[in-house]
Amino acid sequence: MKKMMMGSLLSQSQMVLTRVLLLLLSFTSMVRAKDHFYDFMLKETNFTKLCITNSVLTVNGSFPGPTIHVRKGDTAFVNVHNQGDYGVTIHWHGVKQPRNPWSDGPEYITQCSIAPGTNFTYKVIFSTEEGTLWWHAHSDWTQSTVHGAIVILPAEGTTYPFPQPDEEQVIVLGSWFVFDVNKHLHYDLSVGGELPGAQAYVINGQPGAFFNCSNDETTFRLSVDYGKTYLLRIINAAVDSELFFAIAEHNVTVVGMDGSYLKPISTANVAISPGQTMNVLLTANQPLGHYYMAARQFISIGLADVENATTAVIEYRGNYTAPSTPIFPSNLPSHRDIEAGNGFLSRLRSLANKEHPISVPQNISHPMFVVVSEKEIVCPNRSCVSLDGNRLSSAMNNITFQNPTTDILLAYYRDISGVYETDFPDYPKWFYNFTSDDLPNNTVIPTIGTKVRMFNFNETVEIVFQGTDVLAGAQNHPVHMHGYSYYVVGSGLGNFNNETDPKSYNLVDPPELNTVRVPKNGWVTVRFTANNPGVWLWHCHLIRHQTWGMKTVFIVQNGDTPETSILDPPPSMPSCKSSFVNYIEEFKNSDGLQLVRMRGM
Ligand SMILES: [Cu+2]
Tell me the average pLDDT across 506-531.
98
Give the Å distance between the CA of 190 and the centre of ligand 1.
21
Report helix, strand or coil for 22: helix
For ligand 1, the distance from its centroid to the CA atom of residue 476, given in whole angstroms, is 6
pLDDT band per the 50, 70, 90 thresholds, residue 586: confident
> CA gyration radius for the chain?
25
Torsion angles phi and psi, residue 489, rounded to 5:
-95, -15
Asked, colleague to colleague, whether 36-347 and 366-564 share their fold, the answer is yes
The DSSP letter of residue 276 is: -
Distance 467 CA to ligand 1 centre (A): 10
pLDDT of residue 428 exceeding 60: yes
Q: Which long-range CB contacts under 8 A does 594-600 form with residues at least 24 apart?
A: 594/187, 595/187, 596/183, 596/186, 596/187, 596/190, 597/183, 598/85, 598/86, 598/183
Query: Can you name the residues that pair with 69 across neighbouring β-strands?
Result: 151
Q: Return the domain boundaries, the chain.
A: 36-347, 366-564
pLDDT at 579: 80
Distance of CA 541 from the midpoint of ligand 1 (Å): 6
Ligand 1: centre distance to CA 479 (Å): 7
> Is the CB of residue 131 less than 8 Å from the CB of residue 512?
no
546 C-alpha to center of ligand 1: Å? 7
Q: Separation of 466 CA from ligand 1 center, angstroms?
A: 12
Say if CB 447 and CB 61 are below 8 A apart.
no
Ligand 1 centroid, distance to 542 Cα (angstroms):
5
CA of 204 to the centre of ligand 1 (A): 25
Gap from CA of 550 to ligand 1 centroid (Å): 7
Q: Shortest CA distance to 401 belongs to which of 554, 579, 521, 576?
A: 554
| Residue pLDDT, tens place only, 91-139 | 999 999 999 999 999 999 999 999 999 999 999 999 999 999 999 999 9
Centre of ligand 1 to C-alpha 540, Å, is 5
pLDDT band at 167 (very low <50, low <70, confident <90, very high): very high
Q: How far is the CA of 288 from the centre of ligand 1 (A)?
A: 42
Question: Among candidates 250, 242, 231, 262, which has minimal Cα distance to 292?
Answer: 250
Query: What's the 539 CA to ligand 1 centre distance in angstroms?
Result: 8
Q: 94 CA distance to ligand 1 centroid (A)?
A: 18
Q: Which CATH architecture has domain 366-564?
A: Sandwich (2.60)
Ligand 1 ion local residues (Cβ < 5 A):
477, 540, 542, 545
Three-state secondary-structure class, residue 221: strand
How many angstroms does the Cα of residue 258 sit away from the middle of ligand 1? 19
Q: What does the alpha-carbon distance between residue 123 and residue 63 come to, in Å, rounded to a whole number?
A: 23
Question: If DSSP codes are grouped into helix, strand and coil, which group holds residue 456?
Answer: coil
Q: Which residues pair with 551 in a beta bridge?
A: 539
* Centre of ligand 1 from the C-alpha of residue 253, in Å: 28
Q: pLDDT-based confidence at 594, cuts 50/70/90?
A: confident
Among left, alpha and beta (phi > 0; psi -120 to 50; other), residue 494 is left
State the distance from the centre of ligand 1 to the C-alpha of 416, rounded, in angstroms: 31
372 C-alpha vs ligand 1 centroid, how far in Å?
Answer: 8
pLDDT per residue as tens digits for the range 155-166:
999 999 999 999
How many Å lie between the centroid of ligand 1 and the Cα of residue 534? 24
Q: At residue 144, what is the residue type?
A: S
Position 13 scores a pLDDT of 60
Give the neighbor-by-neighbor strand order of the sheet with 512-513: 447-449, 399-401, 391-396, 366-377, 460-467, 522-529, 486-493, 512-513
Cα(195) to ligand 1 centroid in Å equals 13
- Give CA angle at 536 (508, 151), nearest 5°: 65
Instruction: State in Å: Cα 319 to ligand 1 middle.
Output: 48
DSSP code string of 225-238: -TT-EEEEEEEE--
102 and 227 in contact (C-beta within 8 Å)?
Answer: no
Distance of CA 537 from the midpoint of ligand 1 (Å): 14
Confidence (pTM):
0.93
User: Distance from the CA of 400 to the center of ligand 1, in angstroms?
Assistant: 13
Rounded to the nearest angstrom, the distance between the alpha carbon of 71 and the centre of ligand 1 is 32
For 36-347, which CATH class? mainly beta
CA 202–ligand 1 middle distance (angstroms):
21
User: How many CB atoms are closer than 10 A to CB 301?
Assistant: 13
* Rounded distance from Cα 189 to ligand 1 centre (Å): 17
* Ligand 1 center from residue 449 Cα (angstroms): 18
29 pLDDT more than 50: no
Ligand 1 center to 394 CA (angstroms): 8
Q: Ligand 1: distance of its center to the CA of 517 in Å? A: 9
Cα(48) to centroid of ligand 1, in Å?
30
Spatial distance between the Cα atoms of 188 and 350, rounded to a whole number of angstroms = 42
195 pLDDT band, cuts 50/70/90, is: very high
Quick one: 111 exposed, middle or buried, by C-beta within 10 A (0-12, 13-18, 19+)? buried
Q: How far is the CA of 548 from the centre of ligand 1 (A)?
A: 9
Distance 481 CA to ligand 1 centre (A): 13
Tell me how far the alpha carbon of residue 364 lies from the centroid of ligand 1, in angstroms: 26
Rounded Cα–Cα distance for residues 363 and 459 (Å): 10
pLDDT tens track for 408-425: 999 999 999 999 999 999
The answer to whether the Cα torsion of 258, 263, 269, 271 is positive or negative is: negative
pLDDT tens figures, 340-362: 999 989 999 999 999 999 999 99
161 alpha carbon to ligand 1 midpoint, in Å?
A: 33
Lowest mean pLDDT across 268-282, 487-501, 529-543, 587-601: 587-601
Contact 483, 104 (CB under 8 A): yes
147 backbone φψ class: left, alpha, beta (φ>0; ψ -120 to 50): beta
